[in-house]
Structure 1
Amino acid sequence: MHAIITLCFAHIKKRKIQNVLLAILIMLSTLLLATSVTIMMNTSNIFKKIHHDSNGAHQILTMGEDIHNPITVNNWWQEQQGVSASNLIPYRTLSRFKAHGVETQNLYLYMMNTPKKPIVIDRLPFLEGKNQDYPTKGTIWIPTSMAATSNISLGDAIEFNTGKKAFTLNVSGIVVDLPYGGPFTTNARIWMNESDYYKQFDTLIGSEQYMMALRFDDYQQSAKYWMEFEKFLNGPYLESKMEYEEIASFYLIINKIIGFLMIAFGVAMLFISLFIIGFSISDAILTNYKTIGVIKSLGLTSRKISATYVLQFSLLSVVSIIPGLITSTILSRVIIESSLSYLKAGKHLMIIQDFRITMLLAVIIFAIVILTAFIYSNKSRHVEPVQAIKYGMSEFANSKLNRRLNSSNRLSNFVNLPIQLQIGIKNITKNMKSSILIIVLTAITSAILVFSAVMLNSFISIKQNTPAWGYDSSHVVVTVSNEAAFSKQQFEQFLRSDERIKNHAWLDQFTGVLPNEPNQPLNINVDTIEGSFEDAGYETISGRNPVNKNEIALGINVAKALHKNLGDIVEVYIEGNQHHLIVTGIYQSIANMSNSARITADVIKVYNATYSASGVSLINLVDETLSPQIVDDVNNKFKSSVSAVTQQTLLDAVFKEVIAVLMIPLSVTGILFIAVTFIIIFSVSRINVRKESGTYGIFKSIGMTSSTIRWSITSGILFLSALGTILGIFIGVKVIPVALQSIILEYGLLELPLVINWPISIGLSLLSIVVACLGCWVSTKIIAKTSPRILLVE
């Protein structure tokens, strides 16, 4: 045992730098894997905990379209055993507000009449403010999402505009509002005092709407309750319904993507670490082949020699895994705090660090490292003392090496390359395993850098690709905020007379119900257009958008749920009226997770001949750069009835938070792999230089300068890393997005819409080449520092 320990520490001392670098690799692998596991475990758990603690709703029903009687519906649910139903909460809608003097028009506001009695379902945990049953007079509660995106703090004044008048209320509470306070939401519930509610909206034209929440003792049984409810209604429920899956989905999507990527990159880094461990052990055995032969001839068994390497990497693993786990707690907290900030009720989220899972992960990594060390160290069993002392390697390996060198020499002579390139080629062909490793490593690093650049650029430049996300590509969006003061005729006359405007369309939304036997009917959003879907910029992934009054296009998740394809007939209820429509197209859309459909206004006119869409106007210009001018002109001319904004403003408001959340993990992962590339190539090059020290001593002794030798070696690394980078660009642009398909399909996207900035992407990918060459150049510094005589002796 004493001999094993002595040899083990001798190996560690002899190759200090190499062992330190290997320890860093294992630590980084542990860091990425532990962080990804913590993120994946906490993302769902944190949401479920908040949902449980707040007695969160499984379904939200909204009524007020004169289709169902809200009181009758509420009474029925109140009587059911195993279901908790909230009271009806009246609300009105607004489309804009002003905070800090800046008007925001990208949020659809539900102005809620907060009940006097304490809220039982969907209780509102407070991030800031005094926890009260309802807001005091002159104050409101707002969701964390609205506070974060509009930079609103406790005590700030917010100005609302009904179209007829403006009024101001102060923020007395910032609350976690699960159904309408998630990432990427375009809705927000504003909780008002009852007296303020009636004071501001009593004179507002239009009917009051109602919202109610349902929580099931067993959510899996909800379908049975709905079957009974539809029997009570003598037909399907025809108004809006939000499901638990919709409430949860966008809280989880970013962390699902981050967790997936970090697991994939962590596994890749672990495999690279294992390869390096195997490479190091193999190199150590070859380098010390003669010594091992002598030791074996003196009586030390192969098992004990193998144990020295196993013990060496056991110690390195222990030293590496522990700091990796500790660091992962910090990184995972930073990522989770930023991505789930809307669920924060207090200074910090309750992040769970499961000690058992952490220890299991540590044990798995430790066991994998030890198993790898054991497998590769077993090569020492094949060392024959006589061959080792005679050749310094096995007789077979000696013959193989001579053949490879001869073929390499023939290739060099045939091509008649300069001596520097010949040295580089020999370095590649003589060390094929390390050459393959460098190609793989630079491919992975450049793939991560390119994918990160493409992902971030796709969100930054989302305006270039909005139809692929399921949005329109119009230049200006105008929302009617006061129908009583709005004249569609005057507005359209203004549009037709303005030469800057190319075309426009009117977009309206209805709730559609599609029977889906034997499952629950699908309550979806139906986008209705008066004009042309094509002019507005909507796209389909198959077929086309509807044009006639008997046609419909389905979101991919609706088509999947109904098992419908192009040419099929679907039954859909809109405003209580039954329609049978032909499927002309299928599209993808991240909005509503593709649980939506598209029809023309002619479908509504079948039962309502006087219908005229007037919700949102989508305007395209002859010159898009004039969008700010048009927005100002429309707002100034129709300021009492509409609010206009550029499409770019709306998109930025929704997706800028995606960029902020993704920036940290993608940047950290990219930096880690850049560091790993440097570390590994430094280590591999140092090993190869040590193996060829005699050759380089001869080169120096015959007059070749150290710089020439170093440049020759680096030229080979340049070639290998260039091959890896080309492969990495392909992987980053094509392979990784396809691997994400299983996640994004759940959110309504069949393909991830990418906007590639090739100069930036290629520029970042070249970092892997620069780092690889730098690692090689630094590692060969030993050639310049060492005299030819010592090199020959080594």
Structure 2
Amino acid sequence: MYAIITLCSSYIRKRKIQNGLMVVLIFLSTLLLATSVTILTNTNNIFEKAHHDSSGAHQILTMGNNIHNPIAVNEWWQEQPGVTTSSLIPYRNLSRFTFNGKEISNIYLFMMNTPNTPFMIDQLLFSEGEKQLSPPKGTIWIPTSLASSATISLGDAIEFHTGESTFNLTVSGIVVDMPYGGPFTTNARIWMNNTDYQQHLATMTGSDQYMMALRFNDYQQNTNYWGDFEKYLQGPYLESKMEYEEIASFYLIINKIIGFIMIAFGIAMLLISLFVIGFSISDAILTNYRTIGVIKSLGLSSREISITYVLQFGLLSAVAIIPGIIISKFLSRRIIESSLSYMKAGNHLTIHQDTLFNILIALILFGIVLLTAYFYSHKARNVEPVQAIKYGMSESANSKMNRRRNSSNRLFRLRSLPIQLQIGLKSITKNIKSSILVIALTSITSAILVFSVVILNSFISIKETSPSWGYDASHVVVTVSNKETFTKQQFEDFLMADERVKDHAWLDQFTGILPNDSHPPLNINVNVIEGSFDAAGYVTMSGRNPISKNEIAIGLNIARALNKNIGDIVEVYLEGKQHFLIVTGIYQSIANMSNSARITAEVIKVYNTTYTTSEVSMINLLDETVATPFVEDLNTHFKSSVSAVTQQLLLDAVFKEVVAVLVIPLSIVGILFIIVTCIIIFSVSRINVRKESSTYGIYKSIGMTSTNIRWSITIGILILSIMGALAGIFIGIKLIPLALQSIILDYGLLELPLVINWPTSIGISFVSVIAAIFGGWISTKIIAKTSPRILIVE
């Protein structure tokens, strides 16, 4: 045992730099894997905890379109055992408010007449402010999502516009509002004092809408309750319903993507680490072949020599894994707090970091390293003492080396190539394993960098691909905020008289009910257009948009749920009326997770001949650059009745959060892999230089300068890294987004719409080449420091 420990400590001391780099690699692998696992486990845990602590709703029903009696619906659900039902909460809709002198019109507001807290279900968790029975008079509670996106703090005053009047309320609480407070939402519930509600909103033209929440003791049984409910209604429920899956989905999507990326790249880094461990052990056995032969001849067994290497890398992995696990706690906390800030109640998120689980991860990684070291160290069993002492390698290896030298010498007959390039190519062909490692490493690093740049650029440039995300491509969006003061004819006359306007369309939204065999009916959003979907910029994945009164286009997940394709007939209820429509197209949309459909206004007019759309107008201009002054003119001219905003502003409001959350993890992973590329290539190149030291000594003795030799070796690395970088561009743009399909499909996307800036993508991919060249150049520094005589002797 003493001999084993002595040899192990000798190997560690002799290769300080190489062993140090190995520690760094294992540390980074541990860091990425442990962080990703913590993120994924906590994402669901934090959401489930917040949902549990708030007695969160499983379903939210909204009523008020004179289809069902809200009071009767609420009373029926109140009577059901196993279901907790909230009271009916009256609300009014607003689409405009002003904060700090800036009008914000990209948030759709539900102005709630707050009942006394605590609610039986769907309680509000206070992030900031004092929890009270209800907001004090003159104040409101707002969700964390609105506070974050509009940078609103406690004590700030907000001015609300009803179209008929304006009023100011002060923020006295910022709350976690689970159903309408998630990331990427364009809705927000504003919780008002009853007196303020009656004074400012109850007198508005129109009638109250109503919202109620349902929580099931066993959510899996909700289909049975709905079957009974529809029997009570004598037909399907025809108004809006939000499901638990919709509430949860957008809280989880970003961390699912981050976790997927970090796990995939963590595994890639671990595999690279294991490859380098195998490479290092193989090199150590070859380098110390004669020494091993002598040791075996003195009586040390092959098993004991193998244990020497296992012990060496076991110690190195222990030194690396423990700090990797510890630091992952801080990194995962930083990422989670950034991506799940909307569920932060009080001063912190309840992040659960299971020590036993971290220990299990550490043991698994430790075991993998030991098994790898044991597998590769078995080569020491084949060392024959006599051959080792005579050749410094096995006899067969000696013959192969001589043949390879003879074949590689032919390379120098290519006299048309510069001598430096010849030496570089020789270093590639003579060290096949290390050459493959350099290509693999630079391709992975390049892929990570390219994917990171492409995905961030795609969200930043969302306007270019908005139709592929399921949005329109219009330049200006106008929302009618007060129907009583709005005149559609005057508005259209204004558009017709403005030479900047190219065309426009009107969009309305209905709740559609699609019966589903053996499943509850699907409550979906149906977009109704007066005009042309194509002119507004809406696209389909297959088929086309509807143009007549018997046609419909459906979202991807609706097509999957109903097993419908182009040309099939779907049954849909709109305003309580039954329609049978032909599917003309299928589209993807992240909004509503593709649980939506498109029809023309002609479908509604089949039963409602006087129907006209006057909810949202989508306007295209002849020159998009004049969109901002055009919006200002619209808001000035129709100030009391509409709210106009550029489409760019609407998209930025939703997707800027994605960029902010993704920047940190993608940057960390990219920087780590750049460092790893430099480290590994330094290590591998250092090994190869040491193996070929006598050859480089001969080159120096016949007149080549150290700089020329170093550049020759670096040229070989340059060629390999360029090959890897080019492969990485393909992997980053094609394969990684394809691998993400399993996640994004649940959110209504079959393909991730990417905006590829080719100069930037190609440029960032060559950062891996720079890292490789730098590592290779530094590793050859020993050639400049050592005399030709010593190199030849070595």
* TM-score past 0.5 threshold: yes
How far residue 26 of structure 1 moved from its aligned partner, in angstroms, is 0.1
Offset from partner CA, 1:611-666 (integer Å, 9 cap, x none): 11000000001011010111011011001100100000000000000000000000
* Equivalent residue number for residue 162 of structure 2: 162
> Does 2:588 align with 1:588?
yes
Task: State how far apart, in whole Å, the 1-side matches of 2:475 and 2:402 are.
Answer: 70
Conservation of the 8 A alpha-carbon contact between 2:140 and 2:169:
yes
* Equivalent residue number for residue 306 of structure 1: 306
Task: State how far apart, in whole Å, the 2-side matches of 1:415 and 1:536 are.
Answer: 64
Task: State how far apart, in whole Å, the 2-side matches of 1:574 and 1:120 are.
Answer: 32
Task: State how far apart, in whole Å, the 1-side matches of 2:312 and 2:80 are.
Answer: 67
Task: State how far apart, in whole Å, the 2-side matches of 1:767 and 1:503 are.
Answer: 46
Offset from partner CA, 1:357-396 (integer Å, 9 cap, x none): 1111111100000000000001000001111111111111
* Equivalent residue number for residue 555 of structure 2: 555
Provide the secondary structure at the position in 2 that maps to 1:175: strand
Provide the secondary structure at the position in 1 that maps to 2:62: strand
The amino acid that maps onto 2:255 is N
Task: State how far apart, in whole Å, the 1-side matches of 2:206 and 2:602 are.
Answer: 24
Task: State how far apart, in whole Å, the 2-side matches of 1:160 and 1:225 are.
Answer: 39
* Equivalent residue number for residue 566 of structure 2: 566
Conservation of the 8 A alpha-carbon contact between 1:157 and 1:170:
yes
> Does 2:214 align with 1:214?
yes
Q: Give me the identity figure in percent.
A: 73
* Equivalent residue number for residue 489 of structure 2: 489
> Does 2:783 align with 1:783?
yes
Offset from partner CA, 1:16-46 (integer Å, 9 cap, x none): 0000000000000000000000000000010
The amino acid that maps onto 1:450 is V
> Does 2:717 align with 1:720?
no
The amino acid that maps onto 2:81 is Q
The amino acid that maps onto 1:707 is T
How far residue 117 of structure 1 moved from its aligned partner, in angstroms, is 5.2
Offset from partner CA, 1:165-192 (integer Å, 9 cap, x none): 1100000000000000000001000000
Provide the secondary structure at the position in 2 that maps to 1:528: strand
* Equivalent residue number for residue 750 of structure 2: 750
How far residue 425 of structure 1 moved from its aligned partner, in angstroms, is 1.1
* Equivalent residue number for residue 709 of structure 2: 709
Task: State how far apart, in whole Å, the 1-side matches of 2:442 and 2:507 are.
Answer: 49
5+ residue gaps in structure 1? Answer: none
Q: Which residues in structure 2 correspond to 1:273-288 (within 5 Å)?
A: 273-288=273-288
Q: In terms of mean alpha carbon deviation, does 715-724 or 399-408 score higher? A: 399-408
* Equivalent residue number for residue 464 of structure 2: 464
Conservation of the 8 A alpha-carbon contact between 1:119 and 1:133:
no
* Equivalent residue number for residue 377 of structure 1: 377
* Equivalent residue number for residue 231 of structure 2: 231
How far residue 405 of structure 1 moved from its aligned partner, in angstroms, is 2.0
* Equivalent residue number for residue 60 of structure 1: 60
Task: State how far apart, in whole Å, the 2-side matches of 1:456 and 1:212 are.
Answer: 38
* Equivalent residue number for residue 199 of structure 1: 199
Task: State how far apart, in whole Å, the 2-side matches of 1:96 and 1:793 are.
Answer: 82
Provide the secondary structure at the position in 2 that maps to 1:755: coil
How far residue 411 of structure 1 moved from its aligned partner, in angstroms, is 3.2
Offset from partner CA, 1:575-611 (integer Å, 9 cap, x none): 1111110000000000000000000000111111111
TM-score normalised by L of structure 2: 0.99
Q: Which residues in structure 2 correspond to 1:503-582 (within 5 Å)?
A: 503-582=503-582
Offset from partner CA, 1:646-687 (integer Å, 9 cap, x none): 000000000000000000000000000000000000000110
Task: State how far apart, in whole Å, the 2-side matches of 1:577 and 1:303 are.
Answer: 81
* Equivalent residue number for residue 145 of structure 1: 145
Provide the secondary structure at the position in 1 that maps to 2:169: strand
Task: State how far apart, in whole Å, the 1-side matches of 2:145 and 2:581 are.
Answer: 38
Provide the secondary structure at the position in 2 that maps to 1:633: helix
Provide the secondary structure at the position in 2 that maps to 1:521: strand
Conservation of the 8 A alpha-carbon contact between 2:202 and 2:208:
no
Provide the secondary structure at the position in 1 that maps to 2:698: helix
Provide the secondary structure at the position in 2 that maps to 1:502: strand
Task: State how far apart, in whole Å, the 2-side matches of 1:202 and 1:687 are.
Answer: 80
5+ residue gaps in structure 2? Answer: none
The amino acid that maps onto 2:656 is K
Task: State how far apart, in whole Å, the 2-side matches of 1:116 and 1:182 are.
Answer: 23
Provide the secondary structure at the position in 1 that maps to 2:508: strand
The amino acid that maps onto 1:41 is T
Conservation of the 8 A alpha-carbon contact between 2:184 and 2:654:
yes
Conservation of the 8 A alpha-carbon contact between 2:411 and 2:426:
no
The amino acid that maps onto 2:134 is Y
The amino acid that maps onto 1:271 is L
How far residue 416 of structure 1 moved from its aligned partner, in angstroms, is 3.7
Task: State how far apart, in whole Å, the 2-side matches of 1:331 and 1:153 are.
Answer: 27
Provide the secondary structure at the position in 1 that maps to 2:206: coil
Provide the secondary structure at the position in 1 that maps to 2:688: helix
Conservation of the 8 A alpha-carbon contact between 1:281 and 1:376:
yes
The amino acid that maps onto 2:74 is N
Offset from partner CA, 1:740-763 (integer Å, 9 cap, x none): 000000000000000001111111
* Equivalent residue number for residue 364 of structure 2: 364
Conservation of the 8 A alpha-carbon contact between 2:117 and 2:132:
no
Task: State how far apart, in whole Å, the 1-side matches of 2:114 and 2:416 are.
Answer: 86
The amino acid that maps onto 2:520 is Q
Count of residue correspondences: 794
The amino acid that maps onto 2:457 is N
Conservation of the 8 A alpha-carbon contact between 2:32 and 2:262:
yes
Task: State how far apart, in whole Å, the 2-side matches of 1:711 and 1:113 are.
Answer: 75
Task: State how far apart, in whole Å, the 2-side matches of 1:202 and 1:112 are.
Answer: 11
* Equivalent residue number for residue 245 of structure 2: 245
Task: State how far apart, in whole Å, the 2-side matches of 1:94 and 1:399 are.
Answer: 85
Provide the secondary structure at the position in 2 that maps to 1:581: strand
> Does 2:449 align with 1:422?
no
The amino acid that maps onto 1:34 is A
Offset from partner CA, 1:321-353 (integer Å, 9 cap, x none): 001001110110011000000000011111111
> Structure 1 residues 517, 428: closer, same or farther in 2, change over 3 A?
same
Task: State how far apart, in whole Å, the 1-side matches of 2:74 and 2:415 are.
Answer: 86
Task: State how far apart, in whole Å, the 2-side matches of 1:610 and 1:569 are.
Answer: 26
Conservation of the 8 A alpha-carbon contact between 2:56 and 2:178:
yes
Task: State how far apart, in whole Å, the 2-side matches of 1:596 and 1:7 are.
Answer: 69
Task: State how far apart, in whole Å, the 1-side matches of 2:669 and 2:468 are.
Answer: 28
Which stretches of structure 1, 4 residues or more, deviate above 6 A after TM superposition? none
Conservation of the 8 A alpha-carbon contact between 1:476 and 1:631:
yes
Provide the secondary structure at the position in 1 that maps to 2:583: strand
Offset from partner CA, 1:715-764 (integer Å, 9 cap, x none): 00000000000000000000000000000000000000000011111111
* Equivalent residue number for residue 129 of structure 1: 129
> Does 2:330 align with 1:333?
no
How far residue 103 of structure 1 moved from its aligned partner, in angstroms, is 1.2
Provide the secondary structure at the position in 1 that maps to 2:103: strand
The amino acid that maps onto 1:69 is N
Task: State how far apart, in whole Å, the 1-side matches of 2:614 and 2:405 are.
Answer: 80
Offset from partner CA, 1:196-240 (integer Å, 9 cap, x none): 001001321111100000000000000000000000000000000
Offset from partner CA, 1:495-531 (integer Å, 9 cap, x none): 1111111000000000000000210100000000000
Offset from partner CA, 1:242-297 (integer Å, 9 cap, x none): 00000000000000000001000000000000000000000000001011111111
Provide the secondary structure at the position in 1 that maps to 2:516: coil
TM-score normalised by L of structure 1: 0.99
The amino acid that maps onto 1:371 is L
> Structure 1 residues 415, 745: closer, same or farther in 2, change over 3 A?
farther
Task: State how far apart, in whole Å, the 2-side matches of 1:475 and 1:374 are.
Answer: 64
Provide the secondary structure at the position in 2 that maps to 1:109: strand
* Equivalent residue number for residue 658 of structure 1: 658
Task: State how far apart, in whole Å, the 1-side matches of 2:375 and 2:412 are.
Answer: 36
Offset from partner CA, 1:87-110 (integer Å, 9 cap, x none): 000000000111111111110000
Provide the secondary structure at the position in 2 that maps to 1:92: strand
Provide the secondary structure at the position in 2 that maps to 1:474: coil
Task: State how far apart, in whole Å, the 1-side matches of 2:368 and 2:252 are.
Answer: 31
Provide the secondary structure at the position in 1 that maps to 2:300: coil
How far residue 415 of structure 1 moved from its aligned partner, in angstroms, is 5.7
Conservation of the 8 A alpha-carbon contact between 1:118 and 1:134:
no
Task: State how far apart, in whole Å, the 2-side matches of 1:158 and 1:755 are.
Answer: 37
CA RMSD of aligned residues (A): 0.7
The amino acid that maps onto 1:737 is P
Task: State how far apart, in whole Å, the 2-side matches of 1:628 and 1:401 are.
Answer: 72
> Does 2:392 align with 1:392?
yes
Conservation of the 8 A alpha-carbon contact between 1:56 and 1:123:
yes
How far residue 118 of structure 1 moved from its aligned partner, in angstroms, is 3.0
